[in-house]
Structure 1
């Protein structure tokens, strides 16, 4: 069985390839593709595999965009960090997925389901991609461009551009505005991440940062990034090597 992996983190792609080959000696990894652009170029000039393992959010866009350019009739198993609730539409349309970080057992289960569903999925890939694209696009839209903050006996409206970042400290969610004032919130970072738009990025478990709050980034050993804000902040902000390429692509776009 020939498999192609679409993943922008080379270490994750290599680990997945190794795990797949260990789970089944008949598996052949025919290509490791790291971007939407690279995948489109590859599929235009090479035969399609039996199965694709793909991340959803790549450095230059969503993997669903590949099908909009190159007609594919190949089942896809998504390896993604998206919350499970966001993938109900994929299950309803026959697309399998595993959540990062994945285990060897999860890979075997996903492959088994692929074999069982192969006949059902044949010829339906384009429709499945379109449904998945619509689902993720809807999730990426902000519920509101304003965050209401309770301060004493008042409710203060803050538009997103006035908010520098959200962070968690002592199990409390805090909003820091560009005017230097901070406010405690009852919402979790997960809830706020859903409500903010593409100008905010979840740097790590404790921080959700606005693009216009960032002065620059610096390399930090090994293969991590340090986020330098345009104002003093009491915490150093580091980005893991797994998120490095996504953060850089987010800043560029």
Structure 2
């Protein structure tokens, strides 16, 4: 069985690949694709696999956009961190999913439905993806993005509400969680800024802060802001006068 994984987090993709091979030793991962753009280019020039496992929200858009550009003739099983409301929509539209962080049992169950999904024709898939894409676009609640952190020999999932801030120190990106622990990340602050939703703000070049980690802000000479956090942090968080109005508008929204 040939499978392609579409996932913009390399650690998550590798973990998924290993878990799938543990479920079925005959599985062959033919490609890892990290973006909508990369996936479109790949499918235009390469044969399609038997099955696709895909994240929904990629760095450059929703994975549903891929089939709008390149008709797929194979089933897609989504690996998603979307809330239950969205998952209900997927079930109504006949699209299989597994919720991050996934378990071996969930993967086995998803693979067990592969034969039935294989009967779907590309036109039916396109209609289902379009309905799902419209549902996601109309959601009132924010996407529950999950950040996977490699810690020793484990992969730890953190939803955004569990993260206080990201910061750069000595050219290293660090995530500080609300549990008081910090973890080193391989992603840049720029990449994390794209992945986080409106509840995070890039205060300066070094710090990306979650709204739920802020007590208040105070004026700081000359015309700067000081962001006061709800926990002890070894560095002060300052906002330049150029960003002052944007931060105040963000906090008021």
Q: TM-score, normalised on structure 1?
A: 0.61
Q: Residue 29 of structure 1: SS of its match in structure 2?
A: strand
Residue 49 of structure 1 corresponds to which residue in structure 2? 49
65-74 or 15-24, which moves further after superposition?
A: 65-74
Distance across 1 between alignment mates of 2:102 and 2:36: 22
Distance across 1 between alignment mates of 2:232 and 2:13: 26
Displacement, 1:207? Answer: 6.6
Distance across 2 between alignment mates of 1:217 and 1:237: 15
Distance across 2 between alignment mates of 1:69 and 1:236: 47
Q: CA deviation digits over 1:148-180, x for unaligned, max 9?
A: xxxxxxxxxxxxxxxxxxxxxxxxxxxxxxxxx
Q: Residue 227 of structure 2: SS of its match in structure 1?
A: coil
Distance across 2 between alignment mates of 1:11 and 1:93: 29
1:232 aligns with 2:227: yes
Q: CA deviation digits over 1:90-142, x for unaligned, max 9?
A: 222221000000001100001102223332x2332111111111110111xx5
Distance across 2 between alignment mates of 1:5 and 1:80: 13
Displacement, 1:237? Answer: 11
1:204 aligns with 2:160: yes
Distance across 2 between alignment mates of 1:34 and 1:6: 6
Closer/same/farther in 2, CA of residues 137 and 208 from structure 1, 3 Å limit: farther
Residue 223 of structure 1 corresponds to which residue in structure 2? 185
Q: Residue 21 of structure 1: SS of its match in structure 2?
A: helix
Instruction: Please report the RMSD computed on the Cα atoms of aligned residues, expressed in angstroms.
Output: 2.8
- Structure 2, unaligned stretches of length 5 or more? 144-157, 175-182, 190-205, 210-224, 234-253
* Residues 228 and 237 in structure 1, CA contact (< 8 A), matched pair in contact too: no
Distance across 1 between alignment mates of 2:70 and 2:97: 22
Closer/same/farther in 2, CA of residues 208 and 89 from structure 1, 3 Å limit: farther
Distance across 2 between alignment mates of 1:236 and 1:10: 31
* Residues 74 and 118 in structure 2, CA contact (< 8 A), matched pair in contact too: no
218-227 or 79-88, which moves further after superposition?
A: 218-227
Which runs of structure 1 show a deviation greater than 3 angstroms over 4 or more consecutive aligned residues? 206-209, 224-231, 235-238
- Structure 1, unaligned stretches of length 5 or more? 143-190, 195-201, 210-215, 239-253
Q: Residue 13 of structure 1: SS of its match in structure 2?
A: helix
Displacement, 1:26? Answer: 1.6
Q: Residue 129 of structure 1: SS of its match in structure 2?
A: helix
* Residues 227 and 237 in structure 1, CA contact (< 8 A), matched pair in contact too: no
**Residue correspondence of structure 1 range 1-253 to structure 2 within 5 A:** 1-119=1-119, 121-123=120-122, 124-139=124-139, 142=140, 193=142, 204-206=160-162, 217-218=167-168, 219-220=173-174, 222-223=184-185, 227-228=207-208, 231-235=226-230
Q: CA deviation digits over 1:51-100, x for unaligned, max 9?
A: 11000000111111111111112211000000122122222222100000
